[in-house]
């Protein structure tokens, strides 16, 4: 067996031999008849499937001076807002060559008036929006299916920490770029603004413009859709996040079939099982999702679950916390049966639950003065684990609520001195109102009263 010094000397002599030839500018294609490792053969097959996505959005802009009728009359300025065109760049992945479907990020094409796709062969094609899912930051667009190459999806559950991966995208609008690294972690959560999170973390360089691009394994299979980076400086620091291909596949199928993701509920509101809660309830479980509340008549209630039970497995997957629970619940289609395991009084029990549709809004329309806002039950969206109410999910900046100081993320907990736990409560509280509306609003831990005349 060679000593360390002998091995070092052999490697040094080999290096001298490599660089002493007349072709000093680069390494040879092979050493001792063995080809050097290269990603080129894989990338030759993969890169035609990764596209550049260009969007244009027309934004109506209005000078504050135009709100002054005296100014408009004096200068004879018409009361017509101007348009400003904003552009953005991103990436996408062809996943169905026969039908021209392309997966990308929702934030790449959000609110776009025009979407174009640039292929590696130089073609620029007009794209049609099929559907978006802001909760996972995924979207599907469609281009003419002519001479396209699709990227196969990797099998779910095969990816491991330490596997080599390659990111392909369009960073900074430079054109198609390839970077490599490894899988740094799996099941990452904690990114703001997304409901369902189960990210792949990688140290392959991901920069602005890579969003929507491909993260592939060394077999050339799609393991994730590059989505976000963690950066204190605005550039790559070796922490990038990708949406797993298994989640992307489910969302894509829903968007193609329905134009939206139709999610259901088991009828449970859960929260993280902390060490303090486990101690308070004398539980031995060290992980899981603690059942805090059950919806009357839900599948969970019918199956006999109770507040205080701890969900530890769903559909064969370990449940570590509330986010794992909601990820599993949100990834099952309506009407499907889900097998769960839960802990009660130190014993593991099992139950079969059906994913049910979220109850429709009852009791008539919400007051017209609240037009321009999209409301969502907290118990449906799971934005807060310890609150009930109605979330201001989306808000038109020109709406009445916006002018009154409301913002997206506000939580309505009361209306006209009645408690609001959900959309049904809000509707009933406003159903026969003829005068002013008094709304109790919670924002960043503080409670406010707003009057809408």
CATH number of the domain encompassing residue 414? 2.30.42.10
Whether residue 15 is contained in a domain is answered as no
Whether residue 339 is contained in a domain is answered as yes
169: domain range? 164-258
Per-residue confidence (pLDDT) for residue 281, from 0 to 100: 65
Whether residue 379 is contained in a domain is answered as yes
Domain identity same for 236 and 278: no
Domain identity same for 378 and 345: no
Per-residue confidence (pLDDT) for residue 244, from 0 to 100: 94
Domain identity same for 347 and 388: no
> At CA 269, angle to CA 268 and CA 272, rounded to 5?
120
Domain identity same for 335 and 291: yes
C-alpha 374/C-alpha 322 separation (Å) is 25
Whether residue 243 is contained in a domain is answered as yes
Domain identity same for 230 and 183: yes
* Residues near 375 by beta carbon (within 8 Å), at least 6 away in sequence: 366, 390, 391, 392, 393, 412, 423, 426
Whether residue 148 is contained in a domain is answered as no
Whether residue 134 is contained in a domain is answered as yes
Q: Are residues 107 and 139 in contact, defined by beta-carbon separation less than 8 angstroms?
A: no
- The structure tokens listed for 226 are 């590059």
pLDDT averaged per 10 residues, the chain (length 453): 44 40 48 77 93 85 58 59 74 95 93 91 93 90 93 89 94 86 89 79 88 93 88 70 93 92 83 76 75 82 90 90 87 88 89 79 53 76 59 83 84 80 81 73 72 74
Which positions are annotated as active-site residues?
Answer: 107, 137, 211
Whether residue 13 is contained in a domain is answered as no
Domain identity same for 375 and 445: yes
**What does the DSSP 8-state code read for residue 133?**
E
Domain identity same for 429 and 341: no
Whether residue 237 is contained in a domain is answered as yes
Q: What is the CATH number of the domain that holds 217?
A: 2.40.10.10
Domain identity same for 133 and 59: yes
* Total domains, the chain: 4
Per-residue confidence (pLDDT) for residue 16, from 0 to 100: 38
C-alpha 225/C-alpha 214 separation (Å) is 5
Q: Are residues 338 and 355 in contact, defined by beta-carbon separation less than 8 angstroms?
A: yes
Domain identity same for 101 and 187: no
Domain identity same for 234 and 198: yes
Per-residue confidence (pLDDT) for residue 58, from 0 to 100: 78
Residue that has been written with the tokens 């620091």 in this structure: 237
Domain identity same for 50 and 95: yes
Kindly report the pTM of this predicted structure.
Answer: 0.69
Domain identity same for 181 and 245: yes
């Amino acid at each position: 067996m060679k000593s360390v010094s002998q091995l070092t000397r052999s490697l040094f002599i080999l290096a001298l031999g490599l660089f002493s030839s007349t072709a000093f500018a680069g390494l040879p294609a092979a050493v001792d008849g063995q080809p050097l490792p290269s990603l080129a053969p894989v990338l030759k097959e993969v890169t035609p499937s990764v596209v550049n996505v260009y969007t244009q959005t027309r934004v109506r802009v209005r000078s504050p001076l135009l709100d002054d009728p005296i100014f408009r009359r004096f200068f004879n300025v018409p009361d017509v807002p101007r348009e400003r065109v904003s552009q953005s760049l991103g990436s996408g992945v062809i996943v169905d060559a026969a039908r021209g479907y392309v997966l990308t990020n929702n934030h790449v094409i959000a609110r776009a008036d025009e979407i174009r796709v640039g292929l590696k062969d130089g073609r620029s094609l007009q794209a049609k929006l099929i559907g978006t899912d802001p909760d996972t930051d995924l979207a599907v667009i469609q281009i003419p299916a002519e001479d396209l190459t699709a990227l196969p999806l990797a099998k779910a559950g095969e990816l491991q920490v330490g596997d080599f991966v390659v990111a392909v995208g369009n960073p900074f609008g430079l054109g198609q770029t390839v970077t490599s690294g490894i899988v740094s972690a799996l099941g990452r959560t904690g990114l703001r603004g997304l409901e369902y999170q189960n990210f792949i973390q990688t140290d392959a360089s991901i920069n602005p413009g890579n969003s929507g691009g491909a993260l592939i394994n060394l077999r050339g299979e799609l393991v994730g859709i590059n989505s976000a980076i963690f950066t204190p400086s605005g550039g790559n620091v070796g922490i990038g996040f990708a949406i797993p291909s298994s989640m992307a596949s489910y969302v894509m199928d829903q968007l193609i079939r329905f134009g939206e993701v139709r999610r259901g509920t088991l009828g449970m509101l859960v929260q993280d099982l902390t060490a303090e809660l486990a101690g308070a309830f004398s539980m031995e479980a060290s992980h899981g999702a603690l059942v805090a509340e059950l919806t009357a008549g839900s599948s969970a209630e019918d199956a006999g679950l109770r507040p205080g039970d701890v969900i530890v497995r769903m559909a064969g997957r370990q449940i570590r916390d509330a986010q794992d629970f909601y990820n599993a619940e949100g990834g099952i289609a309506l009407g499907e049966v889900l097998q769960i395991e839960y802990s009660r009084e130190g014993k593991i029990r099992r139950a079969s639950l059906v994913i049910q549709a979220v109850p429709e809004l009852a009791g008539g329309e919400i007051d017209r003065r609240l037009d321009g806002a999209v409301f969502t039950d907290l118990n449906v969206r799971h934005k807060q684990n310890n609150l009930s109410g109605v979330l201001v999910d989306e808000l038109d900046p020109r709406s009445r609520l916006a002018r009154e100081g409301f913002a997206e993320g506000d939580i309505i907990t009361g209306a006209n001195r009645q408690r609001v736990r959900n959309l049904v409560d809000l509707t009933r509280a406003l159903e026969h109102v003829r005068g002013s509306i008094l709304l109790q609003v919670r924002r960043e831990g503080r409670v406010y009263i707003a009057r809408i005349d």
